[in-house]
Amino acid sequence: MAIFKGAGVAIVTPMHEDLSINYNKLEELLEEQITAGTDAIIICGTTGESATLSEEEHLEAIKFTIDKVAKRIPVIAGTGSNSTHTAVNMSKDAAEYGADGLLIVTPYYNKGTQNGLIRHYTTIAEAVKKPIIMYNVPSRTGCNILPPTVASLFKNAENIVGIKEATGNISQVAKVMELTDGKIDLYSGNDDQIVPLLSLGGIGVISVLSNIAPKETHDIVMKYLEGDVAGSRDLQIRAISLIDELFCEVNPIPVKAAMNLMGKDVGPLRLPLTEMEPANQARLAAAMRDFGLNVVK
């Protein structure tokens, strides 16, 4: 069984002005997402500024989210690291807290060969018997899990069940699906490619867009899976201009700006991320209004 089908939100980590985590606001966001029909919460991913959370904060945010969601929808914990040892330890803790699954990004900076990636993921999978979704995002990590490597891991590690594909390379995704006999749980890691990946056998998206348009993102996936391909496609196309603005600066700068423009008050970003450039923010606000979102600031 898949951990989830539909739209999982790669949720932001709201901050106080002193840059500590705002847990009251995080609880509020979780409730909003569940009410809006989001299908899963992904906590402490890229969008959650995991790179600048301490290990203690990282685990505290994961446990808080699991406790507050209380099994109403799946919670997937981002526990990847460029240190296999650290990834194993964080994954064990998240599993103990009750995470429904783990999102494990490829090692970044030190990267690793394809054999190294097999060892990395296999070591984590053997240490923690929770379902694992591999996260392939070479634009950030400098490391690409090639299709034969994905297939090897999927076939040889029982609890490696899925992949979040953010290469943007449709041909590579198609090869992954060929080599896994279409059985791997495929999630789009790019909001502008949800429908293309669904057409290759995908079952959902791990989404930035869901932070500000949870119902619409859910509907893009579910319309497709229920057979309304035209309706899904039309929603995807209608969202493209907004998605473009959500990624005009490095994620999560624009999505946090968007949420603040909507009055959600998710606070500032931790350095080295900085506040959105005014001209870019103006275009973002215009795209949000065009999409029908309520811009109050």
130 counts as catalytic: no
**What one-character DSSP code corresponds to residue 107?**
P
| Strand, coil or helix: 79 | coil
- In terms of DSSP H, where are the helices of 192-277? 194-199, 214-225, 229-246, 253-261
Given the residues 164, 223, 256, 264, the one annotated as active site: 164
Paired strand residues for 7: 205
φ/ψ region of 4 (left if φ > 0, alpha if ψ in -120 to 50, else beta) reads beta
- Residues 228, 240: Cα–Cα separation, whole Å: 19
Q: How far is CA 38 from CA 35, 117, 154, 204, 297, in A?
A: 8, 31, 26, 11, 25
Residue 196's nearest CA partner among 161, 160, 165 is 165
187 counts as catalytic: no
Given the residues 121, 130, 135, 187, the one annotated as active site: 135
* 62-82 per-residue burial string, b: 16 or more CB within 10 A, e: under 16: bbbbbebbeeebbbbbbbbbb
Which residues are catalytically annotated?
Answer: 135, 164
